[in-house]
Structure 1
Amino acid sequence: MNLRDALLAGLASLPGTREFHIHVLVSSPRKNQSLYPFSQPRTRAYLQDILVLLSEQQTPDSPRVFVSAVEASLYNVPATSCAILYVSKVDSTGQALAPSPTAALLRTFISYYADPSTRPVAADHLWVHLFARAQNQYLFPNSVDFSGKRPLSDIKLCAWWKRIFSDVAADMTLRAGDACRTKLYYVLPGLSEFEASHSLGVASASSSTPSVQWTYGHPYGQTDIPLPCPPSGEAEKRHLGQFIPSFEDDPKSRFMDELAYTTDADGVKSPERKRPRIDLDGLKPCEGESDGDADKDDGRRRKKGQVPGELKTVSPDEFWERMSFRQECVAGAVTGFFVMAVSSSTKRADHPRSEVSPLAPQPGQVSCQMNKRIMSSLLTGHEFSTVERAVWSTKVLEESIKGLCDGLKPIPTPAPVSRRRDYGRQTPEPDPARSTLAPPQTPPPRLVNGKRPVVDVSPNPFPEPVASLDTYHSHIYGSATVSNPPLSRKAVDATVAGGSDGGLPAVTILTARKKKRTKA
């Protein structure tokens, strides 16, 4: 079962009668060395971009409209047999029938990669990372102006994500049993364990969250499940850059960069040394300065194997304690970091690591440029402030995805000339075998000081996959009709009161009336 079919199966149990249309774009693997940029040697990982767009059709005659979207990244680290799923953005338009399908979509999405039987990469251990920050909109521009969208508050959003991970962990326990070990971690920077547990417990007091065990803290002190970054030496010599992965647009990555380039105890980066002053009379450096002094410090820092900045002195416990004072965590809203680790004890036989390259594209995958093109069009060329605009944007984007899959036409073979007079010299007919252009080739790098520079990432030996209509209908696009008993009126009111993706009960606020004074 591919990801598209698994997501459609997870939406089949939603109440109500409606039809879902889904588009799943998964890029082919490419080499990536930014996951652990401060490890020596660099950790070799393979990155895939994932984009899921879900539209809903309330009746057979009504138009489609986007209701949910998920953007994620999948990292594969073969050296440790680990994979990292980073859920970067999740958004909804608020134009779906109650209940919103976002929660069911995410539960199925995470379970697909957590379950070893459906995990599409050859990895025995999966780490799921998430940074929860309440925003009005993420992937659907101007959707906050739609009256039906009710974004969750900071505490409710963290409680909502905790329920999502709890449901996935409970489902994994029932499905795999003792064959999989699942561990859950969460941190709300600035809050103690009691404050975080009490706040999230109150926000989800009436929910049917399964009783799974959570750990308040980071997962970098445990040894049961291997970490994705391979140790360069002994385990006790690991530094901070080998514990915490770096993701795009993540506050942990920005803090890691500051620690790596901090040179003194006060947290102030020293300016770079300027070129030494030249004595014009003697044409030599002034007294007290030499040619090597200017770059001596930088040369030491760049020495192979040396940990930059404070990454060697700051422990993971101190890192998370100092994260509480970061701007992203003290801006007046509660944020949350969630990590789920799933380790399987059985080896998978359908992915022989000695024969299948992790760079080989799999059926149904598209090029990363196609994924970026759709994301750029979604974020810059459309808006979802009204139903009419959302319907138009949905139609254009869905047609664009299908058009990109059908945009590469085969070059027609020229028809043979049946009637041709011989007038002497003639232009030869084009050869069909030579009608296509030669594939583009990267020129060799230029020589630097007589030597070729060291290339950080070697080129991909596999060509980019070319999407076709067969790929579109088999892996990218799919639809499913849901016909189940609808929710009761009380449940619908509770869902609407809890937010567009909530499920929390309505809160009634009682106000005290002032007693009128009687005239004496």
Structure 2
Amino acid sequence: MSALDTVVKALNTLCPPRPLTVHLLQSEPRRTNTLYTHLAAHPKGTTIQDVLLVLYIHLEPADLSSSPSPITAADDDAASQSCATKSGVEHTTTSSTNPIALISIQAQIFILPREAHTMVYISKADSTGYTLPSSLPSRPYARTIISSFLSYYLCPQSRPTPTVQVHLFARSQRQYLFPDSGLDPEETEGKIKKILSGGALCRWWSDVLERSIKLAGLGPSEVDLECFLPGLSKGETLNTLGRRTEFTWSTDLKNVPHPLHNQAPNPSSVIPTLASTIPTFDDDPRTRFLLELSTPGAGTGSSSLLSSNSALPSLPSASASSITSSSTTPNASGQPKNAMDKDEGEDNDDEEVSNKALAARTIASARLSTIPQDEFYERLAFRQECSLGSQVGFFILSTLSSSPLPSTSASATLVFTPISVPTTMESHTQPKRRPGELPKNLFIRLLSMLLNQSFSSNPLVISSSKIIWDSIRGLTGEWGALEYVERSIESSSSLTTDDETNSKRKRSDADGDSALVGRDVSKGTLQPVTVLQVRKKKKKADS
């Protein structure tokens, strides 16, 4: 079962009042050395994969003229009830329905094959705020798709590696993925998008993470939950998250399992530093603060090797060097020449760039090694993006490995033991693209198309959703990936013949019909059904 199938299975339990469609776009995994930007020796073979999930609801023309009812990302849990509907895998909808985007999430999947570890970073989650008709009951769509998506990577049967971590930074904003969706009601022609406060959003995310654990079939002893709400004490943090009866949350990020240490043969020989314990993600305050702390002369006005507006230099990858060895480059006369015939000066230039990048990372790692983790988070709480405005929160969910790596002698050198990984994680080649995975350029094109639309009003949500819908189906169809990125869910009103028969039978039972009969399938005749009743004792005849 894929991640898309897991999401669809969870949505089926909501009894959707109208048909739904899910688009799950995944880029082909590619090598990266930016997960631990400040380490001189980056984990080898690390790959990154971009993910974009969009949920649509198909409304009929009559629904568009009905009285509105606002939809939010955090719907009432009471609407989450079980329903025996069937998912449709066909990728067609009736021409009279309008696909309207409701919710989208963007994530990144990092896999460290040598450390047998996967990191899932939820970078953005947003809703269009489209106002659904009041006749349609609300459903917790956002809570369901996010928790089910994460459960796929947490479940022992489907997770890519023995250990998995989920990272996210919760910050309440008007809009993330749907431009203009969070404008004031005066500017949106009546469309009202409910935006949670900072504390309510942190409470919502903690509930989503706990739900994902339950969906994955894990217990409290199999996971580690950490959160850090800057500016709040432990008691205030737990009070903000609300009452938790089953799972226990740590509130300081001090005991987070670190893959570069805990998965090593001899973890006690590794000294944790900020460079090796805090991964660098996009749009993360910790990443920006680490870059500032690792920059020589930061804040003093002196020249520095690293700019505060750019990431640290990237080390050349093995795949890049292998490609260069067989490529051709033009010579001074404009004629192509083999890369093996490059001038000695060109080789020296490449080596010089590599040495500078390595020196920059070494300097950054050395600077960060002098800063204790407690001091880092204490100073982080006073930074403007963490102290001004609504409450923010950092959340980390970690699975605890049940089969640790074998221990080695104390005199052994610190070398991570390679594990058996899929063919997409070979040492010296780029990961192979699996069915349904899109080229990076195509993924960026579709994401940019989403970010260039306007969702300020209900009519614009409808038109922009149609553009996104047609673009995804058209481009992925040309690539031959539509069947892998799209799934449809029938509405609860779409009952099969068997469902209608069962429904009528239940209504008949409710009306007190005592004539219970069954059908002999082989003969097509009705057969009486034996009903067991309490045997009453006969009264003795009067003598």
TM-score range, shorter chain: 0.5 to 0.7
Identity of matched residues, % = 29
Find out whether 1:142 has 2:166 as its counterpart: no
| Structure 1 unpaired stretches of 5+ | 274-297, 408-466, 486-520
- For residue 62 of structure 1, report the CA deviation from its aligned partner: 3.7
1:505 alignment counterpart = none
CA 1:77 to 1:16, structure 2 compared with 1: closer, same or farther past 3 Å? closer
Query: Would you tell me which structure has more helix in proportion to its own residues?
Result: 2
Aligned mate of 1:404, from 475, 484, 488: 475
Q: Distance in 2 between matches of 1:327 and 1:305?
A: 28
CA contact (8 A) 1:170 1:210 kept: no
CA contact (8 A) 1:130 1:338 kept: yes
What residue identity is the alignment partner of 1:86? Answer: Y
Find out whether 1:482 has 2:482 as its counterpart: no
CA contact (8 A) 2:295 2:364 kept: no
Q: Distance in 2 between matches of 1:90 and 1:304?
A: 32
CA 1:222 to 1:77, structure 2 compared with 1: closer, same or farther past 3 Å? closer
2:226 alignment counterpart = 185
**Offset from partner CA, 1:83-120 (integer Å, 9 cap, x none):** 1000000001122551241110111011111112122x
Find out whether 1:376 has 2:443 as its counterpart: no
1:117 alignment counterpart = 157
Q: Distance in 2 between matches of 1:399 and 1:9?
A: 24
Find out whether 1:353 has 2:421 as its counterpart: yes
User: TM-score, normalising length from structure 1?
Assistant: 0.67
Task: Give the RMSD, CA atoms, in angstroms.
Answer: 3.1
The runs of 4+ residues in structure 1 deviating greater than 6 Å are 228-234, 298-301
1:333 alignment counterpart = 390
2:31 alignment counterpart = 31
- For residue 251 of structure 1, report the CA deviation from its aligned partner: 0.7
**Offset from partner CA, 1:290-329 (integer Å, 9 cap, x none):** xxxxxxxx99993885554630111222211111011110
1:311 alignment counterpart = 368
Q: Distance in 2 between matches of 1:148 and 1:10?
A: 27
CA contact (8 A) 2:22 2:488 kept: yes
Find out whether 1:195 has 2:236 as its counterpart: yes
Q: Output aligned runs, 1:10-159, within 5 Å.
A: 10-44=10-44, 45-59=46-60, 61-95=96-130, 98-119=138-159, 121=160, 123-145=161-183, 146=188, 147-159=191-203
- For residue 240 of structure 1, report the CA deviation from its aligned partner: 1.2
CA 1:229 to 1:371, structure 2 compared with 1: closer, same or farther past 3 Å? farther
User: TM-score, normalising length from structure 2?
Assistant: 0.64
**What is the number of residues matched between the two proteins?**
381
What residue identity is the alignment partner of 1:362? Answer: R
CA contact (8 A) 1:13 1:482 kept: no
Q: Distance in 2 between matches of 1:231 and 1:39?
A: 19
Q: Distance in 2 between matches of 1:166 and 1:484?
A: 31
SS in structure 1 at match of 2:196: coil
- For residue 371 of structure 1, report the CA deviation from its aligned partner: 1.1
2:206 alignment counterpart = 162
What residue identity is the alignment partner of 1:31? Answer: R
| Structure 2 unpaired stretches of 5+ | 61-93, 306-354, 405-418, 495-543
Q: Output aligned runs, 1:242-391, within 5 Å.
A: 242-263=276-297, 268=300, 270-271=302-303, 302=359, 305=362, 307-308=364-365, 310-345=367-402, 352-353=420-421, 357=425, 359-380=431-452, 382-391=453-462
Q: Distance in 2 between matches of 1:39 and 1:125?
A: 21
SS in structure 1 at match of 2:237: helix
What residue identity is the alignment partner of 1:144? Answer: G
1:238 alignment counterpart = 272
